[in-house]
Amino acid sequence: MATQQYKAWSVVIMSTLAFTVCFMIWMMFAVIGIPIKATLGLNETQFGILIATPVLTGSLIRVPLGMWTDKFGGRIVFLILMLSTVFPIWMISQATQFWHFLVTGLFVGVAGGSFTVGIAYCARWFPKERQGLAMGIFGAGNTGAAVTKLLAPIIVVGYGWTMVPQVYAVLMLVTAIVFWFFTFSEPGHKVGKSVTVREQLAAFKDPKVWRYSQYYSIVFGGYVALALWMTKYYVSEYGFDLKTAAFLAAAFSIPGGVLRAVGGYFSDKLGAHTMTWWVLWVSLVCLFFLSYPQSDITIQTLNGAKTFHMGLTPTVFTIILFTLGVVFAVGKASVFKYISDDYPDNIGVVSGVVGLAGGLGGFLMPIMFGALVDLTGIRSSAFMLMFGVVWVSLMWMYFTEVRPVHADLHEKSLTTNL
């Protein structure tokens, strides 16, 4: 008979594998969307809508999935979720018109809801002091975005883009079967039958949940948005071919997934607030440099006009993007450490609400990226938008977390002196 520790780690490993495959599929349009855009003659805004459509359903379904996970257990919910996407994934290969891709993309997007199921399913197998690490390991499944960037271009070049959804449909089916045979259920992990839907949805009234949602909208929503957008950005901004562009874009996606476990470990050790505070500051600095567009500045000198070019080379751009991927990975883990600390008995629903906010950020940002490019003609406007979102998050954290702590310390100091 399997020990509790064996069950716990088997659940984490298999859930992480399943989430990786789900994330590969969720990010599929980041690669196949480029040849589809060329075939259908889409503009930048339409391309943004195309790649973001799966993110919409993957976000909206997170709250009910979190509630069902709390009620029925993560194992059965995860299995049903994966099986429900197999047919829609295959049907993408049969689509020929823009609306075909949007409709099938909505159904395929359900795969993105797997995060809420898995995070609650895995966390409950571990004590509080190790939940950050467990959730961080599971969250490393975000590397599915990088796997798609490395694998899908090879399939596209060799067999055409229609082969990608066909391969992914078979992969999802096999993963669902393997997941079922190597995971376990624990009745004690479910909430009591007396807990009502109204009680579960009370999380929407908690201001802390909305603050965590704002943080997650940038560290996860921004990650999803850039994971979808960067391959196209490298092609348009620097003129790389699809395979090279996808490979370079993986420099952001890989650390954004793999290092989430590291973020979970340090969040356990140093606390969610400390890690998130520094994540937001480093993100702000990275986005400041990424926002600067390619520019030619002409200066009148004693010897006449001189023109200087300012802009990031592909190498410098990739290094900064890699750094941003690292801090986003840590931030995704630290935000969920907040949740496991504050809501140990309601992880599924709260993670669903926060995940919904993060997913909606990942849905809206690519569309806004495309609209900004169409309106301004400046490709780096995507980073300008994200810079503003990070600034809002920092201000919110300062006035709700940092300033009250300093005020309390000051008051205690005055009391002691008196």
Q: Is the pLDDT of residue 14 over 90?
A: yes
CA distance 50 to 43: 11
The CA-CA-CA angle for residues 190, 192, 193, to 5°, reads 115
What pLDDT shows up at residue 188? 67
What pLDDT shows up at residue 1? 46
Between 320 and 417, the more confident residue is 320
Give the chain's domains with CATH numbers.
Answer: 4-417 (1.20.1250.20)
370-409 pLDDT, tens digit per residue, is 899 999 999 999 999 999 999 998 998 888 887 776 556 5
125-136 pLDDT, tens digit per residue, is 888 777 777 877
CA distance 17 to 118: 11
Per the listing, tokens 């009148």 go with 300
Please answer whether residues 287 and 183 qualify as being in contact, where contact means their C-beta atoms are separated by less than 8 angstroms: no
Q: Taking all residues of the chain, what is their mean pLDDT, rounded to a whole number?
A: 85
What pLDDT shows up at residue 32? 92
CA distance 249 to 244: 9
SS3 assignment for 134-168: HHHHHHHHHHHHHHHHHHHHHHHHHHCCCHHHHHH
309: left (phi over 0), alpha (psi -120 to 50) or beta: beta
Q: pLDDT category, 162, cuts 50, 70, 90?
A: very high
Q: Where are the alpha helices (DSSP H) in 303-400?
A: 314-342, 347-376, 381-397
- The two three-digit tokens of residue 390, written as one number: 């990070």
What are the CB-based long-range contacts (under 8 Å, 24+) for 86-89? 86/169, 86/172, 86/173, 86/176, 87/169, 89/25, 89/165, 89/168, 89/169, 89/172
339-365 pLDDT, tens digit per residue, is 878 777 677 678 778 878 888 888 889
Q: pLDDT category, 294, cuts 50, 70, 90?
A: confident
295-301 vs 304-310, strand pairing mode: antiparallel
- The two three-digit tokens of residue 285, written as one number: 């600095």
pTM: 0.77
**Please, how many CA atoms are within 13 Å of residue 32, restricted to the half-sphere of its CB?**
27
CA distance 363 to 263: 24
24-41 pLDDT, tens digit per residue, is 998 899 899 999 999 999
Q: Is the pLDDT of residue 313 over 70?
A: yes
Helix (H, G, I), strand (E, B) or coil at 126: coil
Q: pLDDT category, 21, cuts 50, 70, 90?
A: very high
**Please, how many CA atoms are within 13 Å of residue 245, restricted to the half-sphere of its CB?**
21
- The two three-digit tokens of residue 309, written as one number: 């070019």
236-250 pLDDT, tens digit per residue, is 889 898 889 988 888
CA distance 22 to 83: 11
173-228 pLDDT, tens digit per residue, is 999 999 999 988 877 666 655 555 666 566 677 788 888 888 888 888 898 889 88
Q: Where are the alpha helices (DSSP H) in 94-143?
A: 98-108, 114-123, 128-139
What lies within 8 Å, CB to CB, of 131 at 6+ separation is: 123, 268, 337, 340
- The two three-digit tokens of residue 39, written as one number: 């075939």
- Integer CA distances (angstroms), 94 to 139, 161, 303, in order: 32, 11, 64
323-336 pLDDT, tens digit per residue, is 998 999 888 888 87
